[in-house]
Amino acid sequence: MDPQEMKDITRRWLQGIFDHGEYGLIPEMTTEDYTFSMPRPGRVSREDLPGLIEGFRTSIPDLHNEFHEQVVEGDVVVTRGTTHATNTGPLGDIPASGNPIRSEWIIFTRFRGDKIAEDYELYDEMGVMMQMGAIPTGE
């Protein structure tokens, strides 16, 4: 697969899953042993991914991702972007604040053949919690 095709597939995947909740993309675009990893809750299986994303989408249902750049190295696409949303619903036991959320992130997407085998996301979790009002900002 050429690098541009890998970038296009990654963008379709991330927008489809996170922005639109298109869970039918999971069996279509991922390997059976696909995992999604992030600081918390850690590694999530393909089967548990819809529950994780639904939790985010319940808390910040208007979320949309802005993509800034993508780089391909071998079988990995690195995507840098920003999530924009409003915290209008609870996230676990954190109540809705009504606050706007802006979170920059980087996701490493590893391919195996023409399917996605792994996503590894890094983002400012503390910054998001502060924006939601769950952690004092110190102001």
Q: Please state, for a pLDDT cut of 70, what percent of the chain lies above it.
A: 99
* DSSP annotation of 1: -
Domains along the chain? 3-132 (3.10.450.50)
Mean pLDDT across the chain, nearest whole number?
95
Interval 14-65: pLDDT, tens: 999 999 999 999 999 999 999 999 988 899 999 999 999 999 999 999 999 9
Q: Omega into 27 within 30° of 0, i.e. cis? A: no
More confidently predicted of 65 and 136? 65
Structure tokens at 1: 């697969």
Distance CA 15, CA 33 (A): 21
pLDDT tens per residue, range 92-114: 889 999 999 999 999 999 999 99
